[in-house]
Structure 1
Amino acid sequence: MTDAFRAVYYVAMQQQALSIALIGILGIGAQWIAWRTGWPAIALMLAAGVIGGPVLGLIHPHAVFGDLLEPMVSVAVALILFEGGLSLNFRELRKTDGAVIRLVLLGSPIGWVLGSLACYYVAGLVWPVAILFAGILVVTGPTVVLPLLRQSNVAARPRAILKWEAIVNDPTGALLGVVTYEYLRRSGEGGTLASVILSLLAAAVIAGLIGWLAARALGWLFPRGHVPEYLKAPVLLVSVISVFVGSNMIQQETGLLAVTVMGIALANMRLDSLRDIQPFKENVTVLLISGVFVILSASLDLNVLRQFEWRFLAFLLALLFLVRPATVLLSLAFSPVPWNERLLVAWIAPRGIVAVAISGLFALRLDRLGYSDGSILVTLSFSVVVATILFHGFSIKPVARLLKVTGASERGLLIVGATPFSLGMAAQLRLLDVPVTIADTSWQRLAPARHQGIPTYHGEILSEATEERLDLTRFQVLAATTDNEAYNTLVCNEFAPEIGRDNVHQLGDASDDDDPRTLPESLRGRALFASGHGVEDIMQREEQGWQFRKTRISEQFDYDAARASLPEDGDMLLLLRKNGALRFFTHASRPTPQPGDTILSYVPPSRKRPKGEEE
């Protein structure tokens, strides 16, 4: 008997391990395909889960994880919401011109009322169930909005509005559902709406206070050295989970509010420790979002979809084209937000895991209270999630372009350090219509760039104020070209997580990690030029009158001819693809030009230029 039990236990453990591996492969694989193709990641993750779950039968979340599935997903959503809160800086809120406050304070009740009308008159739900479901639909949520914004080139203000709304409204929708359910439950026991609202309001205040106190405690412990560096990330994660569970023990569904408040409070304390663990928490969030979405779609019961009726289709259309647009436009009426940005925000409102999870939870409870329409909530919630993800996921880019609320159409180069070398490079790139900005702390050193009409940024690039004053999404690559190699390294190390390690470059010799006199390769950006010239080499060449030259690659004048035309000491610096992409020649990467591309080289003065090359 013992051997048989062990065998069953071993098989179950292996099945769980296999399911976890498959969920990770499908989720991260979908994210990678989205990155390669530009398709919306949330739609691909949804498709991956459906294929792995109900279609092929490779993943059965309910059967494999059992009772652990719901708490696993709940904790994952809490961590995602907390990480989203950490990205909410009040400086960014000021840029939204009050739109976020309007959408939360006005939009939530307006959306609740309009959604209730649509649920009752279009979907055919009874009033109690219609009001409860409409409260849940106030949610958009970071699990869907953040991946959508990551892949779309939306302008700064509508991006901030959508992000703030998603994170702040996530617990709001859950609480509205709780208010309705508690009233339905207590009304049979003689309870009044006022008593329900007062008790839940008190629970929400306590949950918010718990989140704020937890943030203050961490803000006191971390800077004073009471937590060692290697324990800060684990302590933070355990604290978030504890706050979430503790708040839910006081009143169910208030945990999301607590972790959101905790994240926002920590984000505005300016703790250096949070910057150190930022890459870790962002990686965890990407993994959790991928896993949660695959689990969500793999849990889809095709029998539930068979309950889909034509009135539900009419409800989806009403939700997409009437309820959401009316909610946003009424909330933002007479606001300074431009009309094109209002229309984009009015269109984008994908629903995700929170809506489905809460709907499934309340469906069971409503059945116990005798509301037969409760079972329909699962079908409706899945339909809303799939429809909004597909519609909004595939349309956000073309709609943003149509409404002219995209960021910079072409992402360019950010140069740190105004030197003769960087000014010459920027001038040549400007002639090629490449957007370039030069940043420097010296107003005087930036004067030649201003005289040439080159955009400049006067300030310390490493300052926190730079995040507010300079939109880094405009740049695809960075080149640190100051005469201080250590500072160049610091700049590259600071911006590598945001721009990408392969997209930050610096002047400085290609380092040898075995040489104790050089900075380690892991801290540095990619060394400019294939031979990795140092700062002193470039300064000497500037004094000798070296120049930048452009070479256009064609069928007649190919890459080999361009290389052969270079003088012995000349170096290729960067490659401009015909689609606008910039690629530097570095000690670690030598891009291969194609016809139509342009090479920018750094060459000695006074030499005859071959065909295809320009000064």
Structure 2
Amino acid sequence: MAVAADGAMAPVMAFALVGALGVGSQWLAWRLRMPAIVLMLAAGLIIGPVLGVFDPVRDVGPLMGPMISIAVAIILFEGGLTLNLHSLRDAAEGVRRLVIIGAPLGWLLSTLALHYVAGLGWSASTVFGGIMIVTGPTVIAPLLRQARLKRRPAQLLQWEAIVNDPVGALAAVLAFEVVLVLQTATTLTHAMWELVLGVTVATVLGAFAGWGLARAFRRAWVPEYMKVPVLFAVLLLTFGLSDAVLHESGLLAVTIMGLVIANADLPSYTELRRFKEHATVLLVSGVFILLAASMKFETLAQLDWRAGVFVLSIILVARPVTVLLSLVATKVPWRERLLVAFTGPRGVVLVAVAGLFGERLAALGLEDGARIGPLAFALVAATVVLHGFTLTPFARWLGLAGGEIPGVLLVGGSRWATAFGQALKKVEVPVLVLDANRARLRSAREGGLPIFFGDILSEAAEHGVEIMSYGKVVAATDNDAYNTLVATDLAPEFGRENVHQLKRAKQESTRHALPTTLGGKPIGAGRSYFELNRMVDEGWGFRTTRLTEEFTIKDWREKNPEAVLFARLSPSGDLRLLAEGEEFRSPPETVLVAMVPPGVEKPEQPAH
């Protein structure tokens, strides 16, 4: 490791260390099924105040401030890019209440808790209270997928996190602008003029930049391969110009810029969002590692008993009161209100923005600003750990959790899909059959399977399907190109290893075949849609078999030489869809789901 004589780490090595720890923590959290923020917090504290290996102020130097400012600007732009007003209008009444009533009420209650419980001044409390509206969209999504809540409470929590992300950022930015102007202006008139000028310039710049980019992209003035670079260049330019007029007003400008682009209905919007999500993952993890490593023991020592009481007051008073008052006189059942009221994990966005504003307030002479960072870390760590371990059992106790086994979405109604769905249902795996052709759903409906009439890629499916209850997708229509589109589009959300499709029909020329890099993992033992349905017509059917100590996978294969394996369910409830010839562990109590030829008797070992 490159280290200078004074113990400082080389800047290049410092950047590499931050990137490796940030991404590595998120990967390890995925492997261990833990909240990534907990591991990032631990990594930052270990290399920073504990071991002293990395000190951002010493090793990064004057670049740290601008780096964090730009990273937070991009994070807030991403927040604005998620706020589609059309989706908010179409959202359930509960979601609108949580945003329109809950956001300002949560800001007020958080500010009061910060002032009267944590002991911060009104200026710091107001700024930090605005940031605390954010419930952490990057944290709530994996928690919801792990808990597999029912659709309505999951939607309430997810949409609240998505929409309140930019709303909280706007509240904090506006509050900070007021504090900044009041602290630096010589007279009240001057202060009001500075504030109005800064907010107006930031709003106009952000709106104009968003409108200009949307117009340029829609009219093809920018080639596809340059859209993302142009987007980030304009983002940085907008941030810099607005910041030059009024310090930190650039954060407001880029948030509004993202809001305008989100509502411009761009054809390339999905690609832009996907790339910026990847960039945000890197930036959020990097900022979090930097802030955690910057902590000093004397700063952490400020977390006294009042900090603990403050965290408890937010979790047990401010959050429940905000949600319960917001949902008064709605049709949301009381069990769902209680679940939402006691579920409010905060994420890295809160820490990143709070850390930046805390430093800015301290630089203005407000000593309370230095306490914002440690309080943000304490709140985030407490809520993430608490909800990470209690959301699932709490949801089960309230009867709002889905099945123990992640379900399967079967895209395409057919006789084969119906037979496969019935076999999965027999071993208690949730199944949903989807098709845009109502006639094709008849066999599934008559077979007692849940169905959804519509396109899986449509907005109706996004709002009408309990996506959180399902962990795997099988694209099984008679259209190979559509199957590939579905698998490719859903892979980032479900994970490429959980998206499957039937074998594509052979092309006369390989030049006309779809690229093998697109689509999902194969399923169906190398048989196409037409071959599988012909097998059903010929009398093939699905059988489920539970292996035992006496009846092993070897015995099953000897007894069923022609059978085609499609899935196995482990004793722990892990469902795995199989490709042709795929090897897998098969301990006792493993359940096999296979297609067998006509005339084969049901196995002696029952599936359950």
TM-score by length of 2: 0.88
Secondary structure of the structure 2 residue equivalent to 1:467: helix
Q: How far 1:527 moved relative to its partner? A: 1.7
Indicate how the Cα distance of structure 1 residues 104 and 501 shifts in structure 2: closer, same or farther if over 3 A, else same: closer
CA distance in 1, matches of 2:200, 2:215: 22
What residue is the counterpart of 1:61 in the other structure? 56
**Would you say the 8 A contact 2:177–2:249 is kept in 1?**
no
Alignment of 1:428-467 (within 5 A): 428-467=423-462
Is 2:503–2:524's contact at 8 Å kept on the other side of the alignment?
A: no
User: Which whole-Å CA distance do the structure 2 matches of 1:500 and 1:376 have between them?
Assistant: 39
Distance change >3 Å, CA 595–CA 160, structure 1 → 2: same
Call closer, same or farther: CA 1:461–1:117 in 2, change over 3 Å. closer
Deviation digits for residues 133-176 of structure 1 (CA, Å, limit 9, x no counterpart): 23323213769442333233451122211321133212212321
Counterpart in 2 of 1:3? none
> Do the aligned partners of 1:505 and 1:527 also contact (CA within 8 Å) in 2?
yes
Q: 1:398 to 1:184 in 2, by over 3 A?
A: farther
Cα deviation code 1:108-157 (max 9, x no counterpart) = 554455445444443444xxx33432332321376944233323345112
> Structure 1 residue 300: deviation in Å?
0.8
How far does residue 301 in structure 1 lie from its aligned partner after superposition? 0.8
Q: Where do 5+ consecutive residues of structure 1 fail to align?
A: 1-6
Q: CA deviation at 1:373?
A: 4.9
Give 1:48's match in structure 2, choosing from 43, 48, 56. 43
2:524 match: secondary structure: coil
Aligned match for 1:133, one of 125, 130, 138: 125
Indicate conservation of the 8 Å contact 1:400/1:406, yes or no.
yes
- Alignment partner, residue 467 of structure 2: 472
Query: Structure 1 residues 324 and 366 mapped into 2: Cα distance closer, same or farther (>3 Å)?
Result: farther
* Distance in 2 (alpha carbons) for counterparts of 1:8 and 1:57: 13
Shift, 1:510, TM fit: 9.2
Match of 2:171 in 1: 172
- Secondary structure at the counterpart of residue 77 of structure 1: helix
How far apart, in 2, do the equivalents of 1:299 and 1:40 lie? 21
1:257 to 252, 257, 260: 252
Shift in CA distance, 386/575, structure 1 to aligned 2, threshold 3 Å: closer
- 3-state DSSP class of the match of 1:580? coil
1:552 aligns with 2:556: no
Residues 106 and 322, structure 2, Cα contact 8 Å, conserved in 1: yes
Whether 2:312 is the aligned partner of 1:317: answer: yes
Contact 2:307 2:375 in 1 (8 A): yes
Letter of the 2:511 partner, please give it: P
SS at 1:62 equivalent: helix
Pairing partner for 1:607 from 588, 600, 605: 600
Aligned equivalents of 1:418, 1:374: Cα separation in 2: 59
- Alignment CA distance shift 1:482-1:145 (3 Å): closer
For 1:308 and 1:418, the matched residues in 2 are separated by 58
Of 229, 236, 249, which residue of structure 2 is paired with 1:234? 229
Deviation at 1:234, TM superposition (A): 1.2
Tell me the CA shift for residue 178 of structure 1: 2.8
Give 1:4's aligned residue.
none
The residue type paired with residue 571 of structure 2 is K
* More moved, 101-110 vs 17-26: 101-110
Give the Cα–Cα distance (whole angstroms) in 2 for the partners of residues 102 and 254 of structure 1.
29
Opposite residue 52 of structure 2, the aligned amino acid is G
C-alpha distance in structure 1 between counterparts of 2:221 and 2:461, whole Å: 31
Would you say how many aligned residue pairs link Structure 1 and Structure 2?
A: 596
- Name the structure 1 match of 2:353: 354
- 1:579 CA drift (Å): 3.5
Contact 1:510 1:527 in 2 (8 A): no
The alpha carbon displacement at 1:477 in A equals: 1.1
Deviation at 1:471, TM superposition (A): 3.4
Give the Cα–Cα distance (whole angstroms) in 2 for the partners of residues 342 and 203 of structure 1.
Answer: 40
- 3-state SS in 2 of match to 1:352: helix
More divergent stretch after superposition (571-580 vs 97-106): 97-106
Gaps of 5+ in 2: none
CA RMSD of aligned residues (A): 3.3
Aligned ranges for residues 82-161 of structure 1 at < 5 Å? 82-94=77-89, 96-97=91-92, 102=97, 106-107=101-102, 109-125=104-120, 129-140=121-132, 144-152=136-144, 153=147, 154=149, 155-161=154-160
CA distance in 2, matches of 1:112, 1:536: 58
1:259–1:596 Cα change, 3 Å: farther
Native 8 Å contact 1:95 1:157 kept in 2:
no
Secondary structure, aligned partner of 2:567:
strand
Distance 1:438 1:522 in 2: 26
The match for 1:598 is 591
Q: Does 1:525 align with 2:520?
A: yes
Offset, 1:452: 2.2
Distance, in Å, in 1 between the alignment partners of 2:107 and 2:606 is 64
DSSP 3-state at the match of 2:594: strand
User: Residues 382 and 280 of structure 1: is their aligned pair in 2 closer, same or farther, counting only changes over 3 Å?
Assistant: closer
Please say if residues 133 and 359 of structure 1, whose CA atoms lie closer than 8 Å, have aligned partners that are also in contact.
Answer: no
Cα deviations by residue, 1:33-78 (Å, 9 ceiling, x for unpaired):
2222222221121111111211122322111211211221122122
Farther-moved stretch of structure 1 (445-454 vs 467-476): 467-476
Larger deviation, residues 39-48 vs 469-478: 469-478
Alignment of 1:25 onto 2:20: yes
Contact 2:103 2:167 in 1 (8 A): no
Kindly report which structure 2 residues correspond to 1:75-86, keeping only aligned pairs within 5 A, or say none: 75-86=70-81
SS at match of 1:269: coil
Contact 2:79 2:166 in 1 (8 A): yes
The whole-number CA distance in structure 2 between the counterparts of 1:21 and 1:390 is 28
Q: C-alpha deviations, 1:303-354, integer Å up to 9, x for none?
A: 2123444344333433443334334444444445444444444441524221
Paired residue secondary structure (1:445): helix
Instruction: Name the structure 2 match of 1:162.
Output: 161
Superposed displacement of residue 248, structure 1: 2.4
Partner of 1:366: 365
Partner secondary structure for residue 221 of structure 1 = helix
- Distance, in Å, in 2 between the alignment partners of 1:607 and 1:406 is 38
Query: Structure 1 residues 234-243 or 87-96, which shifts more?
Result: 87-96
In structure 2, what is the Cα distance between the partners aligned to 1:362 and 1:614?
A: 64
Q: Normalized against structure 1, the TM-score is what?
A: 0.87
- Tell me the percent identity: 37
Give the CA deviation at 1:575.
1.2
